Amino acid sequence: MGDLFSKFDPLIEQRETLLQGGVTDPFNLVMERVESPTVAICNGKRTILLGTYNYMGMTFDPDVIAAGKQALEDFGSGTTGSRVLNGTYVGHKAVEQALKDFYAMDHAMVFSTGYQANLGVISTMAGKDDYIILDIDSHASIYDGCALGNAQIVPFRHNDVEALDKRLKRLPPEAGKLVVLEGVYSMLGDIAPLKEMVAVSKAAGAMVLVDEAHSMGFIGEHGRGVAEAQGVIDEVDFIIGTFSKSVGTVGGFCVSNHPKFEILRLVCRPYVFTASLPPSVVATAATSIGKLMDSADKRTHLWENSKRLHAGLRQLGFTLGTDEPQSAIIAVIMPDLETGAAMWEALLREGLYVNLARPPATPAGMTLLRCSLCALHSEDQVGEILGMFAAAGRATGCIS
């Protein structure tokens, strides 16, 4: 009998070699206690968190926690059902209303995760004989949405407007087309030229979906994302988002102004064939989204943090994913996986948690230390973080 696990042997070997070198497993860290959005206890040590997606620091907001507790008391721990059967409670309608208010859009549909939102909307909207034109660096959930459906897939070079335009012009003019973009690309923290991309997509008669997972709450005047910041939100057909980042809980959504949008509730399999979010989760999400509408000061502080960390890391001699800070993600490029893992561990020993990212999640085979800032990181913490990067960088030979 063939062992179906054999295909993973190269990965098993790579992992074992790494761990034999005495490195802590970077993909198996346990948070023993979480004290706040920016500090946790890991291996018994106070650790600054710089590798979460808690951009707006909502996880410990007292109003958010109170709403979750109340919903748990009033509605129980779970719905035990799909949104289209017994799984729609008043809380699910309330969080959809909160999203419509936040984005100033007509429709909002909540999924159990952002992953499922992409899976569902992409696979349902683009059918047989349609085309999905997507940035080659798209998130796994976008690729999996393509794989679940049966449209033709046309990738184009990352953030390349001309490449997108060329691909679109080669497709049959009458065919259905869905252009799939992200506001912020989460590996390097770079943003998309949405203004130009939406313009060429619309000129080619395509519908546009933008995944704003990493920009919600932070980018744009009202925190609606890169499409808002670049003045094209009204031309975007679908915005996909998640509750697992700035909102501070779990869940996913799609908002749209399309008049026929509500039909998706009946035809979108990742919406229909799964249980809905627990009442406590939708209550925390609705409260958090309401507060994000009024968070201009936090947005300003987060931009300051991002600029300060970017400049500081550059000054120390690290190579970064972007020339200028474009989002709350700052990626430090490592020469290889071994050095990346050693640096990751040295940072953890210093008391700093960042994300180690490697292929296939990263573009161009890169190993990255991804730093994601929080609006609640204090100026002092950013200073501490830079000190830890300096010490770990020198200890591992990454900088001199």
Residues of this chain that bind ligand PLP (CB under 6 A) = 113-115, 118, 139, 141, 182, 186, 211, 213-214, 242, 244, 252
User: Is the Cβ of residue 245 or residue 377 nearer to ligand PLP in the bound state?
Assistant: 245
152-160 contact pairs (CB < 8 A, 24+) = 158/185, 158/363, 159/135, 159/185, 159/190, 159/192, 159/193
H helices of the chain, where? 9-20, 62-75, 90-103, 114-125, 140-148, 161-170, 194-203, 226-229, 264-267, 269-272, 279-292, 296-316, 337-350, 379-395
User: Is the Cβ of residue 254 or residue 346 nearer to ligand PLP in the bound state?
Assistant: 254
* Residue 249 CB, nearest approach to ligand PLP (Å): 10
User: Is the Cβ of residue 68 or residue 252 nearer to ligand PLP in the bound state?
Assistant: 252
* Residue 338 CB, nearest approach to ligand PLP (Å): 25
User: Is the Cβ of residue 99 or residue 390 nearer to ligand PLP in the bound state?
Assistant: 99
Tokens of 192: 């998309």
User: Is the Cβ of residue 164 or residue 204 nearer to ligand PLP in the bound state?
Assistant: 164
Q: Count other C-beta atoms under 10 Å from residue 315's C-beta.
A: 10
Contact 112, 87 (CB under 8 A): no
User: Is the Cβ of residue 89 or residue 143 nearer to ligand PLP in the bound state?
Assistant: 143
Phi/psi of residue 125, each to 5°?
Answer: -75, -40
* Residue 286 CB, nearest approach to ligand PLP (Å): 16
* Residue 170 CB, nearest approach to ligand PLP (Å): 27
User: Is the Cβ of residue 252 or residue 290 nearer to ligand PLP in the bound state?
Assistant: 252
Give the CA count within 13 Å in the CB-facing half-sphere of 131: 22
User: Is the Cβ of residue 245 or residue 308 nearer to ligand PLP in the bound state?
Assistant: 245
Tokens of 152: 């033709």
Instruction: Dihedral sign for Cα 119, 124, 127, 133, please.
Output: negative
User: Is the Cβ of residue 61 or residue 182 nearer to ligand PLP in the bound state?
Assistant: 182
Phi/psi of residue 155, each to 5°?
Answer: -85, 155
Tokens of 236: 């975007």
**Residue whose Cβ sits closest to ligand PLP:** 114
User: Which residue carries 């809905």 as its tokens?
Assistant: 276
One-letter amino acid for residue 268 of the chain: C
* Residue 266 CB, nearest approach to ligand PLP (Å): 23
* Residue 211 CB, nearest approach to ligand PLP (Å): 5
Distance CA 299, CA 186 (A): 18
**Count, residues in the chain:** 400
Q: 12 Cβ partners below 8 Å, 6+ apart?
A: none
Closest CA to 209 of 139, 129, 290, 113: 139
* Residue 371 CB, nearest approach to ligand PLP (Å): 15
* Residue 99 CB, nearest approach to ligand PLP (Å): 14
Closest CA to 77 of 288, 275, 291: 275
* Residue 252 CB, nearest approach to ligand PLP (Å): 5
* Residue 190 CB, nearest approach to ligand PLP (Å): 13
Contact 111, 141 (CB under 8 A): no
User: Is the Cβ of residue 308 or residue 370 nearer to ligand PLP in the bound state?
Assistant: 370
Distance CA 241, CA 110 (A): 9
